[in-house]
Amino acid sequence: MPEIQRLELKHQLGKYDCLVGSDLLPRLPEFLQKINAAGPIGIITNKKVNDLYGDTLRTSLQTADYVTRTILIPDGEAYKTLATVEQALSALIAQGMERSGTIVTLGGGVSTDLGGFVASILFRGIKLVHIPTTLLAMVDASVGGKTGVNHSSGKNLIGSFYQPDLVLMDIDTLKSLAVRDRVSGYGEMFKMGAIRDAEYLEFLSTHMEALIEGIPDENLTKAIARSCALKAQVVEADEKESDLRRILNFGHTIGHAIETSLGYGEIRHGEAVILGMYAAGWLSNQVGNLSSSEWEKLAELLKRIPMKLNLDSLDPATIEKITRLDKKVANSQLNFVLLNKLGEAQIQVGIPILMIKLAVEAIKKAWKK
């Protein structure tokens, strides 16, 4: 059994622990006591995850005399909306949730983002614990304090910054994931290596197959912990995304547009980010400072990631139109995250939006059947 990795993540108002290891779910009461978390414990999850892990969590909590409330939300990005938030809030209030209580999110990015948003606005903010059960949620949504829901005009346009009090990552939960979901999480880890740590990127590339397979060993624990530590460095320096933190959007501008264009459920978030990183890398070489040799290396590594996608319906004009709604657009030009070199990113101002079409064409060519 791999040793538990403990990260101490700091933010403007304090700090919290992020624990990565095996067999952590039954120990939740022990960790809650360390952060002085009181009940009721409102568990926000979906039916599938609840069927897998809900009983384990509730039994351990109730044995430790915690009162629990379970709120089931629909599964899928399409349900990460204000309507679902209102339903969750109404259910919690009806079940007697209290200001002294704690929200525990259990599941993937939808549960984490939406549950975090609920915790940030219920009684103007209550304790929050994230228990991500997907690789993507572990390395992305659960760390950094971003919460939010989607709008018909785009992804994550409504939300808040709200830091958790604890993040618990039990890597045993990754055994139940489909391959596409593990690939999606691998894409986010790859992003952190690409923008912050070329040596870590090499580690991910060397162990790609095993990491995607999701074997709960030391390499998987090390990869998740390193990804979270790299993200924490950025978040600590820029919690509210005014400057440095924007580099975390590498691959996301076009990636989010691809998600919106193809439809949530047709493509995983991490898959879209992988495609978006390819586009951003191409732009980094075309209009930025990324050398041709490093771009070729990045392109080959990205194309090695096992994805079976049909991109015939991916329309460059539609993607360009969607990016015009992006929060980073000003005066018909885009502030884009590009690479200076592998492991080093920067914000480049004034990328003409027309270049987006060419970048999407590059994606389609690279993944052509």
Dump pLDDT digits (tens) for 273-306: 999 999 999 999 999 999 999 999 999 999 999 9
Q: Are residues 151 and 279 in the same domain?
A: no
Q: Domain of 167? A: 5-177
Cα–Cα separations (whole angstroms), residue 325 to 146, 257, 322? 20, 9, 6
Active site residues: 124, 146, 188, 231, 241, 245, 249, 252, 256, 269
Q: Residues 32, 128: one domain?
A: yes
Which is nearest to 205 in space by CA: 190, 217, 183? 190
331 pLDDT above the threshold of 70: no
* 126 vs 244: which has the higher pLDDT: 126
Band of pLDDT at residue 329, cut at 50, 70 and 90: low
Do both 173 and 265 map to the same domain?
no
Mutual angle of helices 109-121 and 82-94, in 10-degree steps: 60
Q: What is the CATH number of the domain that holds 331?
A: 1.20.1090.10
- Residue 21 and residue 148 in one domain: yes
User: Of 146, 177, 208, which closes a domain?
Assistant: 177
Phi first, then psi: what are they for 40, rounded to 5°?
-65, 155
Average pLDDT, the chain: 92
More confident call, 330 vs 318: 318
Instruction: Give yes or no: residues 257 and 362 share one domain.
Output: yes
Helices (H), the chain: 28-34, 47-49, 55-63, 82-94, 109-121, 135-136, 179-196, 198-206, 208-213, 218-237, 252-262, 269-286, 292-304, 316-323, 354-366
Question: Of the residues 135, 162, 177, which one is the last residue of a structural domain?
Answer: 177
Q: Are residues 262 and 151 in the same domain?
A: no
CA distance 53 to 21: 16
Q: Are residue 15 and residue 139 in the same domain, yes or no?
A: yes
Residue 122: inside a domain: yes
Q: What is the pLDDT of residue 156?
A: 85
Q: Please answer whether residues 103 and 118 qualify as being in contact, where contact means their C-beta atoms are separated by less than 8 angstroms.
A: yes
In a domain, 118, yes or no: yes
The pLDDT > 70 percentage for the chain reads 96
147 and 256 share one domain: no
Q: How far is CA 72 from CA 25, 42, 82, 197, 341, in A?
A: 19, 10, 15, 38, 44
The per-residue pLDDT for range 73-102, each reduced to its tens digit, is 999 888 999 999 999 999 999 999 999 999
User: Which residue among 151, 177, 203 closes a domain?
Assistant: 177
**Looking at residue 307, what is its pLDDT?**
94
Average pLDDT over residues 177-202: 96
Mean pLDDT throughout 312-322?
Answer: 91
Residue 333 has pLDDT above 70, yes or no: no
Same domain, 71 and 152: yes
10 shares a domain with 143: yes
Task: Determine, yes or no, domain membership for 356.
Answer: yes
* Residue 229 covered by a domain: no
79, part of any domain? yes
| Residue 311 belongs to some domain of the structure | yes
Least confident of 156-160, 210-214, 349-353: 349-353
Tell me, yes or no, whether 10 and 112 share the same domain: yes
Structure confidence by residue, pLDDT tens digits, 218-274: 999 999 999 999 999 998 887 766 678 889 999 999 999 999 899 877 899 899 999
User: According to the model, what pLDDT value does residue 326 have?
Assistant: 63
188 domain-assigned: no
Domain count, the chain: 2
The better pLDDT of the pair 157, 155 is held by 157
In a domain, 87, yes or no: yes
